[in-house]
Amino acid sequence: MITDVEDVLAAVTKDHSAFEISEEALPRVLTLIRLLAEQALTRYGEIAVSKKRRQPRPLLTVHGRTYEISFRERQKQVRYVPKQPGRRTYDWQRVTPAHKFEPSGELELLVSENSGYSYNHGWKKEWADTAKKPLEEQIASIFRALKARAEEQERARLDREAEQRRLREERERQEAERRRLAAEREERERREWEAAVSAASVKAVHAVRAEHFGTALEQWRAAGEIRAFCAALDEVATTSEDALEVERLRDWSAWGNAEADRLDPTTSGQGLAARDFHAKPTKKQLRPFLDGWHPDRPEKEKPPAQPAPPKPEPDPWRGVIDAHQDQGWRYGRQGRAQWWRR
């Protein structure tokens, strides 16, 4: 980057192809560049030329902003006078133009602030020679416009920062509100879960006790009925005169009494005596009473997927006999549900 004013002027003098000017207008352009540089220095700015660019283009830095300076010479329309009257320059030139354009000596100054991607985008402002005031007398107004532009950009920057700060604070407020609501929801769910577990524990304990007690009662009734039936078998055996029949009846009676002893819950070490009355319910025992809550943590469980209904299997005995085959003997009365299962 060339920052010395004399070096900048020398670079522009050597190659001013970046400007649309004639050779006659170059001294004025150099004078204007020098005036801009002097005013920029009083405002802690500078004029420079980049070494990386093929065509030297002055860069004016002032008020913390950098602008590109460009010049263009206006063209004036004059009457066209051919060099040799009656002779065409080219064979295809059938019509001689009446006018042509020549440099007028009037300059236009273009100040542009590039967007960083293209020289065709960004802020631009033009000044030009007028009948009352040439560009040399407009230098002060140029710097006033650049100062106003810098102040406008600074205000825009502060507004953007304020808006960004407002949006950030709004996001933080929303995030804090979201966390607060989430914490309240978690606390509410935790209390609901604790209440559900507490109520489910009472119901599960009652259900487990009723299940064990009802099972023991059914076994006790079955054992009594078996013993009564075995006593009837023994009575028949005492009156029978057939030795083989007596032997078989007593064998069945002995087996039945042994089975009754095995089922009887009042036998020492069996039935209810082997179960803890104050045992805590397991997770499996709690689940039916939790209304979908997880037994270990305050969250709802997903309902289990319902399996596809099994296809009915053909009855192998259909058409053979009307009644189903005997499914085996089961202790207890069949039909009406037990009282603790209702």
HSE-up of residue 119 (Cα within 13 Å, Cβ side): 7
Residue 35 maps to a domain: yes
In a domain, 180, yes or no: no
Give the pLDDT of residue 255: 94
Residues belonging to the chain: 342
pLDDT for the residue numbered 199: 93
- Looking at residue 113, what is its pLDDT? 86
Residue 14 is assigned to a structural domain of this protein: yes
Predicted pLDDT at 277: 87
Q: Which residues of 247-260 are buried (b: 16+ CB within 10 A; e: fewer)?
A: eebbeebeebbebb
What's the distance, CA 180 to chain centroid? 20
The answer to the question of residue 48 being in a domain is: yes
Confirm whether 300 is domain-assigned. no
Residues of the chain predicted below pLDDT 70: 80, 82-99, 115-121, 268, 315-342
In a domain, 97, yes or no: yes
What is the per-residue pLDDT for 339? 45
Q: Residue 49 falls within a domain, yes or no? A: yes
Domain count, the chain: 1
Is residue 153 assigned to a domain? no
Supply the pLDDT for residue 273.
81
User: Which tens digits make up the pLDDT trace of 197-237?
Assistant: 999 999 999 999 999 899 889 989 999 999 999 999 999 98
> For the whole model, what pTM was predicted?
0.54
The parent domain of residue 42 ranges over 5-129
Report pLDDT for 265. Answer: 86
Please give the backbone phi and psi of residue 227, each rounded to the nearest 5 degrees, phi first: -65, -40
Structure confidence at residue 116 (pLDDT): 52
Question: Helices (H) and strands (E) in the chain — how many of each?
Answer: 5, 5
* Amino acid found at 157: R
Angle separating helix axes 139-239 and 26-42, nearest 10 degrees: 60
